[in-house]
Amino acid sequence: MLRNLLAASALVLLSTPVFAEGDGPGPNLVIDVAGTANGEIVIDLSPDLAPKSVEQILALAKSGAYDNVVFHRVIDGFMAQTGDVKYGKKGGDTSMAGMGGSDMPDLPAEFTATPFERGIVGMARAQDPNSGNSQFFIMFASADNLNGQYTVIGKVIKGMEIVDQIKRGDAGNGGVVTDPDVMTKVTVQE
């Protein structure tokens, strides 16, 4: 009897999907990166955690706003930040990158208990928790101090080795990157 129960339990575990209901793959943000790092990063967005933030990210990506935007702030052992569609376009003056957003409205905080671990993607913001707009960051490592303080919008499901190669910034200058890597093309996979 116990053997049958264990076998049935194992069968249930093996047939359970990797993602829990509501956490399935997609929509995905597909980012082509060029520079020091070259390749593709795929982010599984989480509308169940941050519906407004994900909706805005998707709208910006679909409009092409993220194409040719640089990774302007990259801190070794912490995170890589991008998404400033106003000041962060490659080929333009990116000295103000990190100071802008988009023409869309700022977003309310959508904080959850999801921890900021390696590969998690969060919305960047200013001091005001309700100031997220277009910028986002990808975690190189865990940072418990961000938990419950920033909106989690998804996680990297492919290309973390590309994230690890993104050119780092000057630690003494807040991680600002000289001649930064760029998101050459950002598309949405539903």
State yes or no: pLDDT of 2 exceeds 50: no
Residue 5 falls inside a structural domain: no
Domain that holds residue 107: 25-189
182-189 sheet: strands from edge to edge: 69-70, 182-189, 28-34, 39-45, 152-158, 120-123, 136-139, 79-82, 73-75
Please list, in sequence order, all residues whose beta carbon lies within 8 angstroms of the beta carbon of residue 18, skipping any fewer than 6 positions away. none
Residue 10 falls inside a structural domain: no
Phi, then psi, of 121 in degrees rounded to 5: -115, 130
- The model's confidence at residue 118, banded by pLDDT at 50, 70 and 90, is very high
Write the pLDDT tens digit of every residue in 26-63. 799 999 999 999 999 999 999 999 999 999 999 999 99
d(CA 153, CA 55): 10
Note the pLDDT of residue 1: 39
- The model's confidence at residue 130, banded by pLDDT at 50, 70 and 90, is very high
Residue 15 falls inside a structural domain: no
d(CA 128, CA 12): 45
Give the CATH number of the domain where residue 89 resides: 2.40.100.10
54 C-beta neighbours (distance < 10 Å), count: 21
d(CA 170, CA 174): 7
Q: Which two tokens stand for residue 167?
A: 């050119």
Domain count, the chain: 1
Residue 18 falls inside a structural domain: no
State yes or no: pLDDT of 19 exceeds 50: no
Phi, then psi, of 172 in degrees rounded to 5: -75, -10
- The model's confidence at residue 10, banded by pLDDT at 50, 70 and 90, is very low
**Amino acid of residue 71:** F
Residue 12 falls inside a structural domain: no
Q: Which of 105, 104, 107 shows the shortest CA–CA distance to 122?
A: 107
State yes or no: pLDDT of 9 exceeds 60: no
Residue 16 falls inside a structural domain: no
Helix (H) or strand (E) run with residue 5 in it: helix 2-15
Give the distance from CA 145 to its chain's centroid. Answer: 17
Residue 62 falls inside a structural domain: yes
Residue 19 falls inside a structural domain: no
